[in-house]
Chains A and B, each alone.
Chain A
Amino acid sequence: MALHCYSPFSVLSQFRGSKGNRVIICADLLSALLLRAIGQKLQKSYRMNLRPLGVLRSSQDRGILPCGDIAALVYLWNPFTILSCVGLSTSPIENLAVIVSLYGAVTRRVPLAAFGLIMATHLSLYSAPLVFPLIFLLGYGLDAPPIKKFLQTRHGGVETGSTSDVSKQEKLTPTTQLPFSWRTVLHFVFWVLVWSSYVLVLCSLSLKQYGGLEEMFKRTYGFILRIEDLSPNIGVFWYFFAEAFEFSRNYLLIIFNLYILLTSIPSLMFRLKHRPCFLAFAYLAFTSILKSYPSVGDAALYLSLWALFVNELTDMEYSFFIFCGYIGFSLLSPVMHNFWIWRGTGNANFYFGNAMGYACFQFMFVEKSVNAMLNHDQALKKATAEMTKNLAITVIF
């Protein structure tokens, strides 16, 4: 009888699932397209930034990898994306919202950027601090080597500028000046306010009968921040808060929520403000480790954003080691889960140890990427210094 009852269930639930699948596939494809567009923009600006530095000649342009295509392919073919699509997770939709906001900022469509940000925040609270990278993106423009170096090169360029062609100079000026365009940012803030009030009004109208906005905040953001659900996921907090003592729970909650906010945002912001897209990547990667309920869909997002910087990050350290670590832990994780939950032969520590190791590798990945990006900037500086020296030598002789 038990079998009789149970067997039709699974078939039905599979059938029921196929309806939602289409929406998620569309979201994935759309985010891949947008990623490609972002990548093309970034590639263009990368080429434009490198050319005046003399690192790159127009004939050598083939050396630049098409990062947009790579990122889109990384997103679509990532096993994590496929998993979250097959598993009917909502993370593809959250990812789409994040990518829409980045796309809007990159193409300077301010209302679109604000809309993406608000939707992403509405869907998962952790996207809210993306507002800083977006403001930088709108204020300073696309990713570029640091200002100091630019000014330096421009200086050198002006000195020797008598012979160089004028059109190139003109092309440089909008990016080299790097003024913080307050107008765009204010425009963005205005649109953020418009969209957020729009979403809040809609929510309050639809939730009028069920306790209103207060209830919604308590049930959604409160649920995220208070880590009430302790079922196992690929993060570390479920087990931490299942084991942590009840009397220190509130203290630890405050500490860890502040940890996400205070350790990642300000320090990264100071060093990476000239590269807002990379800042967005670093922040997303960081939150996907420290989220209260992380999923593999988050990893898919930041890995594809990482692929946007393949040109800059070619010299990343330990990349093979980290790659192997990712593969190893993502294969071990289901095994340990099966041991613990289904077979009962394993212990909770097996799975938690695995989650811990995965978090370590993610931490290492973020750290090494940031390191590689800073090294790249340093290398650019060196190259420009050499170029100015050469120019100076030519001037002297």
Chain B
Amino acid sequence: MASLLRSLFLLLIVQSFLVAIAFGSNEVEEFSEALLLKPLPDRKVLAHFHFENRAPPSNSHGLHHHLFPKAISQLVQKFRVKEMELSFTQGRWNHEHWGGFDPLSSMNAKPVGVELWAVFDVPQSQVDTSWKNLTHALSGLFCASINFLESSTSYAAPTWGFGPNSNKLRYGSLPREAVCTENLTPWLKLLPCRDKDGISALMNRPSVYRGFYHSQRLHLSTVESGQEGLGSGIMLEQTLTVVLQPDTTSVESNMQPSWSLSSLFGRKVVGRCVLAKSSNVYLQLEGLLGHGSKNVDTEIEAHGLWKNADFELSLKPERVLRESSSFLFIFDIDKSSDSEPFDLGLTWNLPSKWSCQQAPLHASRFLMGSGNERGAIAILLKATESQEKLSGRDLTNGQCTIKANIFQIFPWYIKVYYHTLQIFVDQQQKTDSEVLKKINVSPSTDKVSSGMMEMMLELPCEVKSVAISIEYDKGFLHIDEYPPDANQGFDIPSALISFPNHHASLDFQEELNKSPLLSSFKEKSLVRSYTEVLLVPLTTPDFSMPYNVITITCTIFALYFGSLLNVLRRRIGEEERFLKSQGKKTGGLKQLLSRITAKIRGRPIEEQSSSESPAAQSSVLSSKLIFKIILVAGAAAAWQYFSTDK
């Protein structure tokens, strides 16, 4: 017995050793957390939480994970997702004040509601089924109605207008989806420390949802290992971007508000998430060029930056990195403890003003026309001030041009007439060939699929404004297809405007610590901006009386059929005969006689009877008439008599 136990024990040890070897041979799973804080020019503060979780390619991949959320890895395995992004957003990103040409805005400025896109690694015929299954799985995972994206009327397959070029890409968005804590909680569940420890402890729900904008994003990509037999690794990137308004106590209106983490979130960071490989807090300050231009190349001088005449930081940064137009202060929260929590604060001493880098063109979208039958959608692109400074222009044929991709989904009940597409450059109408370089249109099918339009514009650099308009007819839906609040209208998803020749990246020269946040900023990301969601009111039928409509219509049809049948089967001759026989019921003997005589003579009965009746009728009429005249005369005489009596 004892020997058996011992051998079992030995076996266990050997096995665990083997397992350890197996894991040791590969990379280990990594988790890192980061928080980027950035004061915005319009007296608001942006907080960007960034969590990255990497599962390396391994044999046991999908079966066992240390840190990586199992739900996600199963999702990837089951539906063979190559890349996926899901975002929940509320509020609208203010491109003018919050920036439009940096990696932060191009990746995290998302359309209102839910946006989902995914690239699959399955044969072309199975992409749609995978998409449908994925939407259902995500819907359960994130407590949101993502399953509405399942129907083919709500998603599209962009070819090149949306960032990645793939024919296995599906894109869908739900502008009406309300985003709240119920979506954040399952999202936090994917983090190894949840919101109990580390940076995510800052996510105090009331303060997060009080903000002007919040967008929680989940980006998933698989990394091919390249080795045979090994599966693919997964990289999960979770970000939460919040724009908050610090409570201002200062009376001065031009002074930037001072804030600290505890005043923004009502909480402090006590310690790092122990499972995280790195956990840093970054503070990005833009527009401090007055200091930057002097001499901050060396670290020692940079350290002096955190306390100066303009502003003061409550903590000393670990390092200061410099980019062309901004500074990045790096803090490590390792040093914080229960007794001394990490509470970064920024105090402004002098009023300061700066502006953000903007995308070459500012996009907005609006509806034209009135009434519920037709209308037009217009997309207006306006040149921004910072356009001159930007690089990334395309010099073709000696001409400076800006390329802009417009990607737009139309729900089927917006019946777009693509031939009415008109492009106005600087208020002058241009023919398609002048500015339109490429266009891809897939028209919608009623109740089957939504329409999609991708177009690439090539505009001269000195352009001031571009207006694109397209006309549409409004569809009429079945009574069941209206949402409960039908009179509110329907939302058209945001259009996406991207600039394929412009890439945003922040390159901080020092590359000592490999922070995932900084490396993601360093990657060149496509500059893109989403337009507003449009609210289109549609005509509604009367919801209260389907029964009335059905019964009234059917009654009229039945009545009609009855009356037509009555006309068709009627025999007028017989009817006349019947009437006459009824009229002469009194003189039975006479009728019989007349019939007999008629039969003897071989003539129809009508002749005789008709010859008789007029005389009788006239006599009756005349007697009646005489009676009436007498009655009236009597009445008149009586009236005369009584009236004269009094």
Chain A residues within CB distance 8 Å of chain B: 1-2, 4-6, 8-9, 13, 228-232, 236, 238-246, 259, 263, 267-268, 270-271, 340-344, 347-349, 352, 356, 359-360, 363, 366-367, 370-371, 374-375, 378, 381, 385, 389
Contacting residues of chain B (124-177) with chain A, CB-CB under 8 angstroms: none
Q: How far is the CA of A243 from the CA of B545 in the complex (A)?
A: 8
Q: 8 A–B contact pairs at CB < 8 A?
A: A5-B368, A5-B467, A243-B546, A246-B478, A246-B480, A267-B564, A342-B371, A359-B556
From known contacts A1-B467, A342-B373, infer whether A243 and B549 are also in contact, taking CB-CB under 8 Å.
yes
Q: Give A116 Cβ to nearest chain B Cβ, in Å.
A: 27
The 8 closest A-B pairs by CB, nearest first: A342-B371, A243-B546, A363-B560, A230-B476, A243-B549, A5-B469, A348-B541, A371-B567
Main secondary structure on A side of the interface with B: helix
CB of B368 within 8 A of CB of A268, answer no
From known contacts A2-B368, A342-B371, infer whether A245 and B546 are also in contact, taking CB-CB under 8 Å.
yes
CB of B376 within 8 A of CB of A374, answer no
Q: Give A288 Cβ to nearest chain B Cβ, in Å.
A: 14
CB of B477 within 8 A of CB of A348, answer no
CB of A375 within 8 A of CB of B422, answer no
Q: Among A6, A243, A366, A371, which residue has its beta carbon within 8 angstroms of that of B479? A: A243
Q: Among B372, B420, B446, B546, which residue has its beta carbon within 8 angstroms of that of A344? A: B372
CB of B556 within 8 A of CB of A363, answer yes
Q: How far is the CA of A117 from the CA of B420 in the complex (A)?
A: 36
Q: Which residues from chain B contact A8 at a C-beta distance below 8 Å?
A: 422, 429
Given contacts A9-B376, A9-B471, A246-B478, 10 further A-B contacts (CB under 8 A): A1-B465, A2-B368, A8-B429, A243-B479, A243-B541, A243-B546, A270-B568, A342-B373, A363-B563, A370-B567
Q: Among B420, B541, B572, which residue has its beta carbon within 8 angstroms of that of A9? A: B420
CB of A342 within 8 A of CB of B552, answer no
Q: Among A6, A263, A341, which residue has its beta carbon within 8 angstroms of that of B373? A: A341
CB of A348 within 8 A of CB of B467, answer no
CB of A240 within 8 A of CB of B549, answer yes
Q: How far is the CA of A347 from the CA of B542 in the complex (A)?
A: 7
From known contacts A344-B372, A349-B545, A352-B549, infer whether A367 and B560 are also in contact, taking CB-CB under 8 Å.
yes
Q: Which residues from chain B contact A367 at a C-beta distance below 8 Å?
A: 560, 563-564, 567
Q: Among A228, A230, A349, which residue has its beta carbon within 8 angstroms of that of B542? A: A349
CB of A242 within 8 A of CB of B541, answer yes
Work out how many contacts link A and B, with CB atoms closer than 8 A: 128
Q: Among B368, B469, B476, B572, which residue has its beta carbon within 8 angstroms of that of A231? A: B476
CB of A259 within 8 A of CB of B557, answer yes
Main secondary structure on B side of the interface with A: mixed
Q: Which residues from chain B contact A230 at a C-beta distance below 8 Å?
A: 475-478
Q: Which residues from chain A contact B469 at a C-beta distance below 8 Å?
A: 5-6, 9
CB of B446 within 8 A of CB of A228, answer yes
Q: Which of A231, A359, A370 has the most CB of B within 10 A?
A: A231
Q: Which residues from chain A contact B399 at a C-beta distance below 8 Å?
A: none
Indicate the size class of the contact surface on chain B: 35 or more
B378 at the interface (CB under 8 A from A): yes
B565 at the interface (CB under 8 A from A): yes
Q: How far is the CA of A356 from the CA of B550 in the complex (A)?
A: 12
The contact string, 1 if C-beta is below 8 Å from chain A, for chain B 415-431, is 00000101010010100
CB of A5 within 8 A of CB of B561, answer no
Q: Which of A1, A5, A8, A352 has the most CB of B within 10 A?
A: A5
CB of A6 within 8 A of CB of B570, answer no
CB of A378 within 8 A of CB of B564, answer no
B59 at the interface (CB under 8 A from A): no
From known contacts A8-B429, A367-B567, infer whether A228 and B447 are also in contact, taking CB-CB under 8 Å.
yes
Which residue of chain A has the shortest Cβ distance to B427 in the bound complex?
Answer: A4
Q: How far is the CA of A245 from the CA of B549 in the complex (A)?
A: 11
Q: Which residues from chain B contact A243 at a C-beta distance below 8 Å?
A: 479, 541-542, 545-546, 549-550
Contacting residues of chain B (558-581) with chain A, CB-CB under 8 angstroms: 559-561, 563-565, 567-568, 570, 572-573
CB of B570 within 8 A of CB of A342, answer no
Q: Give A140 Cβ to nearest chain B Cβ, in Å.
A: 18
Q: Which residues from chain A contact B564 at a C-beta distance below 8 Å?
A: 263, 267, 363, 366-367, 370
CB of A244 within 8 A of CB of B380, answer no
Q: Which residues from chain A contact B447 at a C-beta distance below 8 Å?
A: 228
The contact string, 1 if C-beta is below 8 Å from chain A, for chain B 260-281, is 0000000000000000000000
Q: How far is the CA of A245 from the CA of B480 in the complex (A)?
A: 8
Q: Which residues from chain B contact A344 at a C-beta distance below 8 Å?
A: 372
CB of A6 within 8 A of CB of B563, answer no
Contacting residues of chain B (102-144) with chain A, CB-CB under 8 angstroms: none
Q: How far is the CA of A352 from the CA of B548 in the complex (A)?
A: 12
Q: Which of B427, B475, B545, B567 has the most CB of A within 10 A?
A: B567
Contacting residues of chain B (360-416) with chain A, CB-CB under 8 angstroms: 366, 368-373, 376, 378, 380
Q: How far is the CA of A240 from the CA of B373 in the complex (A)?
A: 20
B603 at the interface (CB under 8 A from A): yes
Which residue of chain B has the shortest Cβ distance to A238 in the bound complex?
Answer: B476
Which residue of chain B has the shortest Cβ distance to A385 in the bound complex?
Answer: B604
Q: Give B479 Cβ to nearest chain A Cβ, in Å.
A: 5
Q: Give B365 Cβ to nearest chain A Cβ, in Å.
A: 12
CB of A341 within 8 A of CB of B549, answer no
Which residue of chain A has the shortest Cβ distance to B380 in the bound complex?
Answer: A1
Contacting residues of chain B (170-190) with chain A, CB-CB under 8 angstroms: none
Q: Which residues from chain A contact B204 at a C-beta distance below 8 Å?
A: none
Q: How far is the CA of A199 from the CA of B368 in the complex (A)?
A: 43
Q: Which residues from chain B contact A1 at a C-beta distance below 8 Å?
A: 378, 380, 465, 467
Q: Among B378, B479, B560, B568, which residue has its beta carbon within 8 angstroms of that of A5? A: B378
Q: Give A312 Cβ to nearest chain B Cβ, in Å.
A: 15
Q: Which residues from chain A contact B604 at a C-beta distance below 8 Å?
A: 385
B519 at the interface (CB under 8 A from A): no
From known contacts A1-B380, A8-B429, infer whether A341 and B539 are also in contact, taking CB-CB under 8 Å.
yes
Q: How far is the CA of A232 from the CA of B373 in the complex (A)?
A: 10
CB of B422 within 8 A of CB of A5, answer yes
Q: Which residues from chain A contact B552 at a C-beta distance below 8 Å?
A: 356
Q: How far is the CA of A1 from the CA of B326 in the complex (A)?
A: 37
Which residue of chain A has the shortest Cβ distance to B370 in the bound complex?
Answer: A342
The contact string, 1 if C-beta is below 8 Å from chain A, for chain B 458-482, is 0000000101010101011111100
Which residue of chain A has the shortest Cβ distance to B378 in the bound complex?
Answer: A5
Which residue of chain B has the shortest Cβ distance to A272 in the bound complex?
Answer: B568
Q: Give B234 Cβ to nearest chain A Cβ, in Å.
A: 41
Q: How far is the CA of A87 from the CA of B556 in the complex (A)?
A: 30
Q: How far is the CA of A159 from the CA of B121 in the complex (A)?
A: 95
Q: Which residues from chain B contact A352 at a C-beta distance below 8 Å?
A: 549
Q: Which residues from chain B contact A348 at a C-beta distance below 8 Å?
A: 539-542
Q: Which residues from chain A contact B371 at a C-beta distance below 8 Å?
A: 341-343
Which residue of chain B has the shortest Cβ distance to A350 in the bound complex?
Answer: B542
CB of A2 within 8 A of CB of B424, answer no
Q: How far is the CA of A340 from the CA of B371 in the complex (A)?
A: 9
Which residue of chain B has the shortest Cβ distance to A337 in the bound complex?
Answer: B373
Q: How far is the CA of A239 from the CA of B540 in the complex (A)?
A: 11
Q: How far is the CA of A6 from the CA of B478 in the complex (A)?
A: 30
Q: Which residues from chain A contact B378 at a C-beta distance below 8 Å?
A: 1-2, 5
Q: Give A255 Cβ to nearest chain B Cβ, in Å.
A: 9
Q: Which residues from chain A contact B476 at a C-beta distance below 8 Å?
A: 229-232, 238, 242
Q: How far is the CA of A381 from the CA of B478 in the complex (A)?
A: 53
Q: How far is the CA of A385 from the CA of B429 in the complex (A)?
A: 79
Q: How far is the CA of A1 from the CA of B380 in the complex (A)?
A: 9
Q: How far is the CA of A22 from the CA of B567 in the complex (A)?
A: 43
B607 at the interface (CB under 8 A from A): yes
